Chains A and B, each alone.
Chain A
Amino acid sequence: MLKTVFEKHLNILDYSLSSLWRRRLKNASVLLVFAGVIFLLASFQMVTQALTQLAKDSLENTPEITIQRMSAGRQEAIPLAYMDELSTIFGIQKVVPRIWGYYFDEANLANYTVMGLDVSAMPFGKKLNLALREGRFPEREGTGESVIGQSVYTAKDLKNRRVISFFRPDLSLKSFKVVGIFSSIVDLLTSDLIVMNIEDARDLFAIAPGFVTDLCVYVANPMEVDTIAKKIADRLSDTRVLTRSQIMKTYQVVFGWRSGFASVCLLTALAAFIILAWDKASGLSPEERREISILKILGWETTDVLAVRFWESFLVAALAFVIGCTFAYIHVAFFDATLFRPVLLGWSVIYPSFQLIPNISVDDLLLIFCFTVIPYLAATVIPAWRCAIVPADSAIR
């Protein structure tokens, strides 16, 4: 009995395949459009996941806590004297001062991120050398040295030159020797970055001696980060205390918002496609009507005809899902999501050109499946009921 039921469904599946093949042109066009919609949705999901993962990896070596001084709701320079206050808080491993600012390059219409700090003072300083494509970080005492990101290197058209110059606020020129270039692997965070000695950054931005833009706090026990952050906020009431997890959340929100916005647009396209599929499935061509009435008069039940419709739709949808997801993976992994890069990466002017590693979980695949395949099945099988109740006698009349 069970074998017969199994064999019956195999037969119906076999018939569905042959039916799809007989209407291959119509089905291929549906498959193509559907695979396209799934490709767009899956690409967005994969890029969002990849960016979040990349941000997570890149933030791994950043300080657990960053302290900035606020005045009238805006950031201003923080005195180095605050470090003395921090030294009294138990659990803080190290405090590294940093100058973080932006430099607008009028010639290239590009906004660079300038970071002045003593890399060797950071607990993971040596590890950071791995982030360099070539060279080294500036020496602690050596002034006039810098490490630049990929986009800065390209924008400044350095080629074999290793000297770059920037204007101070008083329009006097300050030159730097480029001693290192960041690897593209960490491009998300370093693409527009220029790292230099803290004294050089102070000189470039004309920041008063004894002041920096923020203090980087490293904590011995990662479990204590939130507690220590709270203590710092209590002691230094005019500061903003940012933990690494908060920064990570900001990245997720930014990418998630952009991806979400784009997904809403894509879901609209999907809805239009589903409505079209419903409309097509609701109407029967005279050939299809004739075929159903022949099958019914030959002893096929309404449920058998519905099963054919289900398998036809499922095969188209499943194939479109596999094709869409595969092409989305190729698009993200091998073409760096070229189509969506501008939408998802709202960088200031210069866009990072980092390698995306597609990261998609079973949950994400299931989500895409539920948003695409299931509505398509519903849109094609439910109206098929009306088609399947074509009276058998129309084959005789």
Chain B
Amino acid sequence: MLIELESVTKIYNKGRPNEVKALTGVSLTIEPQTMVCLKGASGSGKSTLLSIVGCVFPPTSGRASIAGKQLSRLPDRFLTIHRRETIGFIFQQFNILPGLTVMDNITLPLLPLGVSPRERRKKARILTEQLSITHRENFLANQISGGELQRVAIARALINNPPIILADEPTAHLDSRLSMEFMSIMNDLRLAGKTIIIASHDTLVTDHPQVHHIVGVKDGRIHVP
């Protein structure tokens, strides 16, 4: 299994008055090269689950194994290294830095790896060609459309060639045509060997024929509808 969660619990601010139990006893397995959708209302625990799968933080209790590494055993630094080698993120707000060019945004994850500018451009060019945004490479992020921003976010998620792509509400700011286009790109990536996990409550995503599994999340637990 690429992703294995066993009785995972996540408590924010444990032991403090503002303690919040976000996940309770979540067990989940995800096979490689599948497209999984985490479905749930706002505040259900989708983002927390996505953060644990994305190696952002370890669970408070339980066992989480991502691409062969036990998260609870990894110190923070190694968690970061494991994250950048394994996970590509696509965010709801795209999270593209507005003052940087498209090219600079795409290559951001490569900077701390010591990749030379020439190599960075070469890697990014392959992705901009695949995603048809080569003509926008030198544009500032705030000068391009929402659909193009989405593609920039996808290119940035793929720049390190991670095996797992996580997308958090990726179609929230897209119209139905662009949403379908996004799902099509995700499916292409799955066929190319990636594992796709999308957190969404958009029916265009949840009802998409290429989604293999839908995992319902409600009140911090896996919910079978």
Contact = CB atoms under 8 A, between A and B. Distances in A.
A304 B116 CA distance: 16
Contact of B114 (A6, A290, A296, A300): A6
Given A4-B114, A396-B168, A298 B57 contact: no
B114 A299 contact: no
Contacts of B95: 290, 294, 395
B160 A299 contact: yes
Interface in B111-150: 111-117
Interface in B43-100: 47, 50-51, 54, 56-57, 77, 80-81, 83-85, 89, 91, 95, 97, 99-100
Interface stretch (A8-16, A190-198, A199-207): A8-16
B156 interface: yes
Nearest to A397: B47
A218 B95 CA distance: 82
B104 interface: yes
Interface residues of B, number: 32
Contacts of A290: 95
B84 A298 contact: yes
B25 interface: no
Contacts of A15: 111
B104 A298 contact: no
A396 B56 contact: yes
A291 B97 contact: yes
A255 B106 CA distance: 59
The dominant DSSP class at the B interface is helix
Given A18-B104, A290-B95, A396-B91, A301 B112 contact: yes
Contacts of B56: 297, 391-393, 396
Interface string A256-293: 00000000000000000000000000000000001100
A183 to B, nearest CB: 58
A49 to B, nearest CB: 43
A22 interface: yes
A5 B114 contact: yes
A290 B95 CA distance: 8
Nearest to B159: A298
B178 interface: no
Contacts of A297: 54, 56, 83, 89
Nearest to A298: B109
Nearest to B47: A396
A151 B168 CA distance: 80
B111 A301 contact: no
A295 interface: yes
Given A22-B99, A395-B95, A396-B50, A298 B89 contact: yes
B100 A11 contact: no
B47 A8 contact: no
Contacts of A304: 111-112
A395 B94 CA distance: 10
Going nearest first, the 10 A-B pairs with the smallest beta carbon separation are A299-B84, A22-B99, A8-B114, A4-B114, A7-B114, A11-B111, A298-B109, A304-B112, A393-B56, A393-B51
Given A21-B99, A300-B112, 14 more contacts: A5-B114, A8-B114, A11-B111, A12-B112, A18-B99, A297-B56, A298-B84, A298-B89, A298-B109, A299-B81, A299-B113, A301-B80, A392-B80, A396-B50
28 contacts: A4-B113, A4-B114, A7-B115, A7-B116, A8-B112, A11-B110, A11-B111, A11-B112, A11-B115, A12-B111, A18-B104, A297-B54, A297-B56, A297-B89, A298-B84, A298-B89, A298-B156, A299-B80, A299-B83, A299-B160, A300-B80, A301-B112, A391-B57, A392-B57, A393-B51, A396-B54, A396-B91, A396-B168
